[in-house]
């Protein structure tokens, strides 16, 4: 099926009249009768082949099959029909990115720009994601600036990609700067963004700023998740403040989140370290009532 997309289509063999606009090259003839039906059938077939090829491209990325991803890239870039399809070109770049080949992604990105195509917001995000996955955060930020210069507005996905990379690498200053930039551009953070920033701050041992971000999250009426709960309790553990542990643990339970074994262990450890034996006993009894089997660290918090 794929070779059909790789050659210029031929018109039917009866009742021809000259037309140069539909197929995109000179001196082609088309039928004078049933032309609309012919276009419809050809368009339908092409659409089905595009869907099939798009699925194959996606599978190469999922399977981390770089040779096949490069083969798909060659098919798309050499196809008369597909070479100007930015969605398909972006899909190829995404597959190459998932295969970990940032060089191939940058090559494809350069080619489509050279051919006069205009990258979409999604295309830019794929390139930035690929650079971040490769650990090239500075190059990713340079790409962000190029994206803005191209009059393409970064979206929450763009910021999430970069924030996640900074958080993972412990780049606290860059994380905070980009978070402020995001807010100044009036892009509202979601719960994943808040969790990512808190995680990065805790990675840098800055629990005070992590608590501040959580307070911003509450002010924005963003509901916490189990990840939020784990991060907050981790922050409390770093600070060694047992009262804060009880405060945030209570808030998160009130929001409907069911504490996990790890959450209880963190709370009991923090309360034990803070010398709050009575509070630790109450939490332990709550844990037993919830039919959560305590581990050694939980018992240690009571001793």
**Complete DSSP assignment for 71-110:** HHHHHHHT-TTTTT-HHHHHHHHHHHHHTT-HHHHHHHHH
> Which comes out higher in pLDDT, residue 30 or 275?
275
What percentage of the chain carries pLDDT values higher than 70? 80
Instruction: Give me the pLDDT at residue 16, please.
Output: 34
Helix or strand or coil: residue 14?
Answer: coil
CA distance 8 to 15: 20
Q: Which of 11-25, 26-40, 230-244, 261-275 has the lowest mean pLDDT?
A: 11-25
> Which comes out higher in pLDDT, residue 235 or 99?
99
> Which comes out higher in pLDDT, residue 97 or 244?
97
Over the chain, what is the mean pLDDT?
81
Instruction: Give me the pLDDT at residue 297, please.
Output: 52
| pLDDT band at residue 175 using 50, 70 and 90 as cut-offs | very high
Mean pLDDT throughout 236-254? 74
> Which comes out higher in pLDDT, residue 278 or 134?
134
Instruction: Give me the pLDDT at residue 165, please.
Output: 96
Helix or strand or coil: residue 121?
Answer: helix
In the predicted structure, residue 13 carries a pLDDT above the cut 60: no
User: β-strand 16-18 against 29-31: which pairing, if any?
Assistant: antiparallel
Q: Which of 24-38, 101-115, 173-187 has the lowest mean pLDDT?
A: 24-38
In the predicted structure, residue 123 carries a pLDDT above the cut 90: yes
| pLDDT band at residue 138 using 50, 70 and 90 as cut-offs | very high
Q: 135 — phi, psi (to 5°)? A: 80, 10
Return the C-alpha torsion angle 211, 216, 220, 222, nearest 10.
-20
In the predicted structure, residue 293 carries a pLDDT above the cut 80: no
Beta strands in the chain (DSSP E): 16-18, 29-31
In the predicted structure, residue 151 carries a pLDDT above the cut 80: yes
| pLDDT band at residue 186 using 50, 70 and 90 as cut-offs | very high
Mean pLDDT throughout 215-234? 87
pLDDT tens for residues 37-67? 544 555 566 777 788 888 889 999 999 999 9
């Amino acid at each position: 099926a794929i070779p059909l997309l790789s050659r210029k289509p031929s018109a039917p063999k009866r009742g021809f009249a000259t037309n140069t606009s539909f197929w995109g090259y000179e001196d082609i003839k088309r039928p004078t009768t049933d032309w609309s039906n012919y276009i419809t059938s050809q368009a339908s077939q092409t659409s089905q082949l595009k869907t099939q090829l798009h699925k194959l491209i996606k599978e190469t990325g999922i399977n981390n099959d770089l040779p096949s991803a490069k083969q798909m890239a060659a098919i798309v870039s050499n196809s008369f029909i597909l070479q100007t399809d930015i969605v398909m070109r972006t899909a190829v770049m995404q597959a190459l990115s998932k295969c970990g080949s940032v060089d191939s992604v940058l090559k494809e990105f350069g080619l489509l720009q050279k051919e006069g195509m205009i990258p979409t917001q999604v295309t830019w995000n794929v390139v930035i994601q690929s650079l971040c996955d490769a650990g090239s955060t500075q190059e990713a930020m340079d790409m962000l600036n190029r994206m803005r210069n191209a009059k393409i507005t970064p979206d929450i996905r763009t910021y999430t990609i970069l924030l996640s990379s900074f958080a993972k690498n412990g780049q606290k200053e860059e994380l905070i700067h980009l978070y402020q930039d995001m807010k100044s551009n009036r892009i509202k953070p979601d719960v994943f963004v808040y969790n990512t920033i808190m995680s990065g701050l805790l990675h840098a041992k800055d629990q005070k700023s992590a608590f501040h971000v959580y307070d911003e999250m509450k002010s924005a009426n963003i509901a916490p998740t189990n990840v939020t709960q784990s991060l907050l309790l981790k922050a409390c553990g770093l600070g060694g403040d047992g009262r804060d542990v009880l405060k945030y643990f209570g808030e998160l339970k009130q929001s409907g989140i069911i504490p996990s074994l790890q959450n209880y262990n963190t709370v009991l450890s923090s309360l034990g370290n803070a010398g709050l034996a009575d509070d630790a006993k109450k939490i332990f009894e709550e844990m037993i009532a919830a039919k959560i089997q305590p581990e050694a660290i939980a018992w240690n918090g009571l001793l």
